[in-house]
Structure 1
Amino acid sequence: MTPQQSRLVAAVRSRFGARSVSTDPDAIAPWLVDWRGRYRGAAPAILSPGSTEEVAAIVALAAEYGVPLVPQGGNTSMVGGATPPADGRALILSTRRLNRLRRVAQDDGLIVAEAGVILQTLHDAAAAVGHRFPLDLGARGSATVGGLASTNAGGVQVLRWGTMRALVLGVEAVLPDGQVHDGLAALKKDNRGYDLDQLLVGAEGTLGIITAATLRIVPAVRARAVGWVGVDSPHAALELLRRAERASGAVESFEIVAGHSLGEVIRHIPDTRSPLAQAFAWHVLIEAVAAGEGADDPQRVLEDLLAGALADGVIGDAVLAASEAQAKAFWRIRHSLSEAERASGPAVQHDISVPVARMPDFMVDDAARVERRFPGTRTAAFGHLGDGNVHFHVRAPAGVDGPAWYAEEAGAITAYVNDLVVAAGGSISAEHGIGQMKVAELARLGPASRIAALRAIKAAIDPQALFNPGKLVPLAGEEAQP
């Protein structure tokens, strides 16, 4: 621990008590490794404030002593965004004690939640007042509000409700000088210049530490219908999506799964099976819902949609879940894809987006280009076709030494995939953020105007570069971790 870190730790412990600081290596160790186990950092202490006022005081002290801070919630980042640097120069600032629901207002359709509130807790609170928070993902039991907002998280309901950015109505955050930005009022009209709330959403903790957010909630689902569809190609899946968009606003989720990825789920995840008797090259999971009175019956919406698509030869077969248990079984397949992919062997993983109309060509033609460029590999693309975002994995050739292959090939594969994404007018990060995993590629691919703007904003708001160093965009002389 450096002298500056020691002074900061002593000051925090003196002001806020022993609970606010941990220097026990065993207690710190689990928070030094990212969710995927790819990045390992070092930090001599974790600071755990219990209120926004304590966060502000700690940040002011850190600025005084020149100690970098890494904000961390549930530590579920997929890109190393909450992992401290390996050199130990930063301390972790945990938001997990900021776990209060300050307000639940069903009439206004909002919840004010502190940064450490877990997504599942948020779901339960909304459900208790006949509402729901329309963002869901596999890490719902550990991901926190602060992290979800800081990374502009997505999930399986973006098609209808948008990313976290669309669901955040206001933000409270501590800025690098220790001042508190209070934007929780959720004003529908506010023309006082730059939107600081939205600047902080997606900033990955590099501009401010989000301590609370005002979030949109919507009426609870009254009924839902879930279908599993077999198609010959992503192009057919896109045609089905367009029909769904024209037919009704009830369709909320539209997920695509390759046939061989479904096979990996059945192989590695117990008690799973294909919903269809016939094998298909591609599959679609589609969900329609009804909330308020007078809404279209989702079962009828999907029945009419799929019957017409079947008659016109757009799809090959389909089944609607006959019960809630069967609907959950369909969704279990989708949520198990990442786990099954990991179990099937090493892979280089990408979270990319391209324009929706371009996505089928990318999933077929560009995937084939990757496999030709790196013989023996196999691509697996799955996810949110409805919003142009898929998880694009490149699996290692059979029989290779996994760690050695990854060390030798991952950089070249990622650069090649990212070049294809940019050529298609897309983004190298759709919903996971940049973190440290993609910071060098973001700097390489630009565009230059975006990088210049990011650096200028960072320098203006955090001139000492103390907030989440090494993430989102490199500063002068900074390099991404390998």
Structure 2
Amino acid sequence: MNATLDQLCAIVGAGHVLTAPDDQRAYVVDWMKKYHGRALAVVRPGSTAEVAAVLRCCNEAGVAVIPQGGNTGMAGGATPDDSGRQVILSLTRMNKIRDLDPVGNTITVDAGCILAAVQMAANDAGRFFPLSLGAEGSCTIGGNLATNAGGVAVLRYGNARELALGLEVVLADGRIWDGLQALRKDNTGYDLRDLFIGSEGTLGVITAAVLKLHAAPVAQATAMMALPDRDAALALFTRLRGRVGDRLTAFEFMTRNCVDLVLKQVAGASLPFAAVPPAIVLAELSDTDAGTDLPALLEDLLAAAIEAGEATDAVIAQSGEQAKALWRIREGISEAQVRAGKTIKHDIALPIGQLAAFMDECERVVEAACPGLNFLVFGHLGDGNLHYNLQRAPHMDDEAFYALTGSLNALVHDLVHRYRGSISAEHGVGQLRRDELPRYKSGVALQMMLDLKRLFDPGNILNPGKLLQS
């Protein structure tokens, strides 16, 4: 191993090969503090050529490489094992914006660029990069693409995959694939780009990307609606989407339990209704035409929804500050859960029309098996993504609750599978869902994935133990 470390130091410089435990501390623990590992070294290359040399070195030595961006993942996909023999490849030094084309509406960036920096560069050029996440101040574009990140604007703009035109990728043996093409059309064979997006660093290391930009929205309207029940959310979504089309940028759903928890745990959070309703939706419209009166349009639609019984009350933000206050309720759910204690989390996707039926049935199934749990259900209802989280019953201690993790996961995910949904919508598989995947992926699908892994990474050095069982 000393010879490998010497080679790595020669490639990136000794100051960018971190071997001391104190220097590695932030790299070997995941964002959720669920997975803890040890590393032979944290290697911080400054260029694609250095990434290629590092991978060539590690491949020849048989040393596993764990690609890492901002280390904000939710599934343990960027954490090493506890052997102390794996190398963490941190791309955070590779943070340059290589090019911005306002005519072609593209921006070309290093994989280590912070998402917020890409948003700002687009904004400075009078353009808009729509990927928006809670961790946007620290997550990186490479990680966003490796996990096919979602966020609150998927409804209009799509996941990270829909926002990428081209990639630069270093393969396990150090070869560089230059696919940095800013093309909307390229019908010359297999779409190699999409193989790497969502592959969680198991097929290659993304080092740069050409991303799509959009016209900046200049008109916005934000509203919060109180609903009589969960079924009403789908009726309201159908009404809004049918009338305003893709001007509906966000449609966020929250159950009463989520809102109660936020009001209890998050300072400054307040609800614009006299009482907490059974369900709440937060909707946002946006348009590139400053002359569009979105608040008036939204007011008419919500008045019709209330008359039809799809909502019982509604509030339209009259200023940017009021809009932020409404979003504070939605964005405070994760913070409230952390303060209230650990939950068993599920990041699931379902056919949109089946969401209410799934929630009703899943609650019955889980309640019958484990009475008294608190159901914290929220998410991006407009694209079918629910965060279906379970909080322990008051009479349980943490140890007894965590002992139920496997059985509760099976209850929820078996039902998701029966509804032809997915057990990972936007957080990835990583270590968290790896061992569950064979239960829900077909044998044919798994075999194709394994075949691709063996083709691209025959030595299994790229992020072993993540996504696929080794």
TM-score, normalised via structure 2 length: 0.98
- C-alpha distance in 2 between matches for 1:15 and 1:59: 11
Distance 2:399 2:297 in 1: 48
1:268 is aligned to 265
Q: Determine the structure 2 residue equivalent to 1:67.
A: 63
Q: Could you list the per-position Cα deviations for residues 57-110 of structure 1 after superposition, in whole angstroms to 9, with x for gaps in the alignment? A: 111111111111000000011000101112223110000000000011111111
> Residue 238 of structure 1 corresponds to which residue in structure 2?
234
Q: Secondary structure, in 3 states, of the residue corresponding to 1:14?
A: helix
Q: Match of 1:263, SS?
A: helix
Q: Is the 8 A contact 2:260 2:276 kept in 1?
A: no
Secondary structure class of the residue paired with 1:32: coil
Code of the residue aligned with 2:42 in structure 1: it is I
Partner of 1:290: 287
Q: Which residue is 2:23 aligned to?
A: 27
Aligned-partner SS, 2:404:
helix
Q: 2:135 aligns with which of 119, 136, 139?
A: 139
CA deviation digits over 1:31-79, x for unaligned, max 9? Answer: 1111111111110210000000100011111111111100000001100
Which residue of 1 is the match for residue 254 of structure 2? 257
Structure 1 range deviating more: 191-200 or 411-420 = 191-200
For residue 395 of structure 1, report the CA deviation from its aligned partner.
1.1
Determine which of 338, 347, 361 is the counterpart of 2:357: 361
Deviation at residue 24 of structure 1 after TM alignment: 1.7
Mapped partners of 2:170, 2:117: distance in 1: 24
Aligned residue identity for 1:410: T
Within-5 A mapping of 1:50-449: 50-249=46-245, 250-292=247-289, 296-406=292-402, 408-449=403-444
> In 2, distance between residues paired with 1:367 and 1:91?
43
SS of residue paired to 1:460: helix
Question: 1:300 offset after TM fit, Å?
Answer: 2.2
Does 2:446 align with 1:451?
yes
- Between the aligned partners of 1:256 and 1:202, the Cα distance in structure 2 is 25
Please report how far the alpha carbon of residue 228 of structure 1 lies from its aligned counterpart in structure 2 after TM superposition.
0.4
| Residues 101-123 of structure 1 deviation map (CA, whole Å, 9 limit, x = unaligned) | 00111111111111111111111
% identical equivalent positions = 42
Aligned counterpart, 1:480? none
Distance 2:296 2:107 in 1: 32
Query: Structure 1: which 5+ residue stretches go unaligned?
Result: 476-482
CA distance in structure 2 between the aligned counterparts of 1:297 and 1:196, rounded to whole angstroms: 43
CA deviation string 1:297-325 (max 9, x = no partner):
32122112101101112110000011100
C-alpha displacement of 1:147: 0.1
Query: Could you list the runs of 5+ residues in structure 2 that have no partner in the other structure?
Result: none
Pairwise CA distance, 1:292: 4.0
Letter of the 2:468 counterpart: V
For residue 103 of structure 1, give the secondary structure of its aligned residue in structure 2. strand
Alignment partners' CA distance in 2, 1:471 and 1:186? 30
Does the 8 Å contact 1:288/1:301 carry over to 2?
A: no
Is 1:45 aligned with 2:41?
yes
| TM-score normalised over the length of structure 1 | 0.95
**Counterpart amino acid of residue 95 in structure 2:** N
SS of equivalent to 1:412: helix
Q: Which amino acid aligns with 2:191?
A: D
**Is the partner of 1:421 in helix, strand or coil?**
helix
- The separation in 2 between residues aligned to 1:189 and 1:223, in whole angstroms, is 30
In structure 2, C-alpha distance between the alignment counterparts of 1:399 and 1:8, rounded to whole Å:
53
Match for residue 468 of structure 2? 473
Cα distance in 1 for residues equivalent to 2:266 and 2:102: 38
Rounded to whole Å, the distance in 2 between the matches of 1:50 and 1:404 is 47
CA drift at 1:404: 4.2
1: CA distance between counterparts of 2:12 and 2:408? 48
Q: CA RMSD in A?
A: 1.2
Moved more, 187-196 or 90-99: 187-196
SS at match of 2:303: helix
Q: Kindly provide the amino acid, as one letter, of the partner of residue 61 in structure 1.
A: C
Could you tell me how far 1:273 is from its partner in structure 2? 0.6
**For the residues of structure 2 that align with 1:15 and 1:88, how far apart are their CA atoms?**
21
Q: Distance in 1 between matches of 2:149 and 2:294?
A: 26
Aligned-partner residue type, residue 104 of structure 2: D
SS in 2 for 1:287: strand
Alignment partner of 1:155: what SS? coil
How far apart are 1:390 and its partner, in Å?
0.6
| CA distance in structure 1 between the partners assigned to 2:256 and 2:95 by the alignment | 41
SS in 1 for 2:103: coil
Check conservation: 2:431, 2:465, Cα contact below 8 A: yes
Contact kept? 1:371, 1:378, Cα under 8 Å: no
Q: What corresponds to 1:478 in structure 2?
A: none
CA distance in 2, matches of 1:377, 1:279: 19
**SS state at 1:30 partner:** coil
Aligned partner of residue 166 in structure 1, secondary structure: helix
SS of 1:314 mapped into structure 2: coil
Q: Which moved more, 1:348-357 or 1:443-452?
A: 443-452
Report if the CA contact (8 A) 1:104-1:111 is conserved.
Answer: yes
CA distance in 1, matches of 2:110, 2:159: 19
Contact 1:85 1:469 in 2 (8 A): no
Structure 2 residue 7 is the aligned partner of structure 1 residue 11: yes
